[in-house]
Amino acid sequence: MTEYDKARSSEGGSAETDVKTVDLARLVAALGHRSIVLVGIMGCGKSTVGKRLAHRLGLEFIDADTEIERAANMSVAEIFAEHGEPYFRSGEERVIARLLREGPQVLATGGGAFMSEATRSEIAEHGLSIWLKVDFDTVMARVRRRSTRPLLQNPDPEGTMRKLIADREPVYAKAALTVTSRDVPHEAVVDQIIATLAEHLFNREATSAAQTSMS
């Protein structure tokens, strides 16, 4: 068994569906115009996994933070420093609402985006949210490698991260779907996402077809 297979079998996530058997074209068709929206804490892999997921599904990948930076012509760190967090958050709401009109696509959101009730309801209307739930040690190891995140530029990034996770997890849990992983290869997480999406989309199709035939 390779490391990759071990990761897949131990992280299982959606053990019911063998990802190799999933009809990806049918999965994309079942999305309609909805975007797959990745949510979760900084460092959980929304962008890295999102790019690979988009590639596997033949969809476009969009990173909301990159689009915010493009719209403002400034980096996220510069927006925080020059205009403050509330300004960033209102820009984030507007940009995500606009991007959601362009599905289907894979959309990675910044770690704080799903905290906005307005954004959650936009996502529920135009997307399918997936929380990438990753343990503290894994995200901390990843965010330590980069110093671009303004919320962690303080003397106690670990304490900040613990508090952010505690505050946000109950909200991330409102996502339509959750995929849990540890520090496993990104392709294994992509497999879990595809299996989870297939179960959700195809079972729902089957349920609504059964309901229609009974009515």
Contacting range for ligand S3P; rule: CB under 6 A; set: 50-58, 95-103, 147-155, 180-188: 147-155
Q: Cα(47)–Cα(212) distance, rounded to whole angstroms?
A: 38
Binding mask 7-46 for ligand S3P (x = CB under 6 A): -----------------------------------x---x
Minimum distance of ligand S3P from residue 161's CB (angstroms) = 9
Helical segments of 58-149, H only: 64-72, 76-83, 85-99, 117-126, 136-144
Residue with smaller CB distance to ligand S3P, 76 or 107? 76
Residue with smaller CB distance to ligand S3P, 8 or 149? 149
- Helix, strand or coil, per DSSP, at residue 37: strand
Residues 175, 131 contacting (CB under 8 angstroms): yes
**Amino acid at site 8:** R
User: Assign residue 12 a region: left if phi > 0, alpha if psi is -120 to 50, beta otherwise?
Assistant: left
Q: Does 151 bind ligand S3P (CB under 6 A)?
A: yes
Residues 134, 182 contacting (CB under 8 angstroms): yes
Q: Cα(39)–Cα(20) distance, rounded to whole angstroms?
A: 25
Minimum distance of ligand S3P from residue 62's CB (angstroms) = 13
Q: Does 76 bind ligand S3P (CB under 6 A)?
A: yes
Q: Does 157 bind ligand S3P (CB under 6 A)?
A: no
User: What DSSP character marks residue 34?
Assistant: P
Minimum distance of ligand S3P from residue 151's CB (angstroms) = 5
Minimum distance of ligand S3P from residue 49's CB (angstroms) = 12
Query: Residue 182, Cβ neighbours under 10 Å: how many?
Result: 13
Interaction with ligand S3P in 95-124: which residues (CB under 6 A)?
110-112
Residues of this chain that interact with ligand S3P (CB under 6 A) are 42, 46, 65, 76, 110-112, 149-151
